[in-house]
Each structure stands twice: as C-alpha cells, then as structure tokens.
Amino acid sequence: MAVADPIIVSAGESEERLERTWSERRGIYRWFAPVHHTTIGKMYFVTAGIFFLLGGILAALIRIQLSRPENNFLGPDRYNQFFTVHGSTMIFLFEGNASTSGRR
C-alpha cells in the first residue's frame, strides 16, 4: 500500500490555517461551534444556571403544595409530575451541566 504524500504547505499558509481553525465563528454560529474551552465551560455554567432556576420553580410549587394539609394547589397527579421533573432536572440537567462546566 502506498504511503500517503505528506501535505506540504508554506509557513504562511500553515499559520493562516491554524488561525482559521482556532478562531471563534461570528454571529449565531458562535453558539454552535465554540472552539475555546473557556467558552464551552461558560456555556455549561449558564445552562446549569437556567436548569437550576427551572428546577427551583418546580421546588417552590411543590413546597406550596406541601405547606398545608389537604392542600389542593397541585393535586396528586401534577404533584407527582412536578416531583419527578424537579428531581430529574436537578440531577441530570443542573448537576450534570454544573459539574461539566468545571471540567475544561
């Protein structure tokens, strides 16, 4: 089997390629193709914050339901749904993103 020819490029071209590969995209593409670990870490951090807020809203609604006996604020089915979504959100979407945000 023939060995592939090495790609020979000039120093200037190689530097320009390197620059292009590692530069951040502009506009909306920046959110879908981040290059720097710091940017990716910040995105995880913000995502974790958003899910903590959403899970927190559910926790507050659960707390209201539990604040009085025989309370009909949520009702049994919605209580179970909010409980489940709160738990899953906090573990997988908040904690998952928060712990990954520090791993860059």
Q: Residue numbers of the site for ligand HEM (CB under 6 A)?
A: 56, 59, 62-63, 66, 83, 86-87, 90-91, 95
The least CB distance from residue 90 to ligand HEM, in Å, is 3
Q: Pick between residue 75 and residue 87 the one whose CB is nearest to ligand HEM.
A: 87
Please state, in angstroms and as integers, the Cα–Cα distance from residue 11 to each residue in 8, 14, 22, 24, 87, following that order: 9, 5, 17, 22, 54
**Residue with the CB atom nearest ligand HEM in the bound state:** 87
Q: Pick between residue 34 and residue 49 the one whose CB is nearest to ligand HEM.
A: 49
